[in-house]
Amino acid sequence: MIKKNIFPLSLKIPLIISFVGGLFGILFSLLGLIGNDLIISLLPEHLDKIKIDSVYYQKMFLILVMFVFSLFGVYKMWKRKKPGFYIYSLAQIILLYLFFHFFSLLVTVFFIAVYAAQLKHMNNKQSKNLIQK
């Protein structure tokens, strides 16, 4: 008898939400890196003296990298690989440190808890197919 290894909806839905959130995070990080100079150049002349220091750009670049790692973790979890959970969790904790808001703390804790509860559907091995006998 062939039994299909079904992808649980309780894992699929949060992964889709995290994927969309990661894409938005990357988009806004890129806008923060690239768009600031554009916005400053559009300001009236007396306000164009505003300069953003290099620490801002370093922080925005690190946020961008963490969103990329977070998205990579989501991709690995979609492929049912446990290391994706650890990559995602670490990236999200670093993002919390870099960009803390109480709401983001709640969302991060919620998603890490959801993924931790779904670890039973992930493995460490490289699976060739999803059909088991």
Q: Say what the pTM is.
A: 0.79
Output the pLDDT for position 6.
78
Domain that residue 96 falls in: 3-132
Domain tally, the chain: 1
Output the pLDDT for position 2.
55
- pLDDT tens string, the chain, 133 residues long: the values are 555 667 889 899 999 999 999 999 999 899 888 877 666 666 666 554 556 667 878 888 999 999 999 999 999 999 999 999 999 999 999 999 988 888 989 999 999 999 999 999 888 765 554 444 3
Output the pLDDT for position 116.
95
Output the pLDDT for position 40.
64
Output the pLDDT for position 45.
60
Output the pLDDT for position 132.
43
Output the pLDDT for position 131.
44
Output the pLDDT for position 85.
96
State the sign of the Cα–Cα–Cα–Cα dihedral 29, 30, 35, 36: positive
Output the pLDDT for position 34.
84
As a whole number of angstroms, the distance between CA 94 and CA 85 comes to 14
- From 11, 35, 27, select the one nearest 116 (Cα to Cα): 11
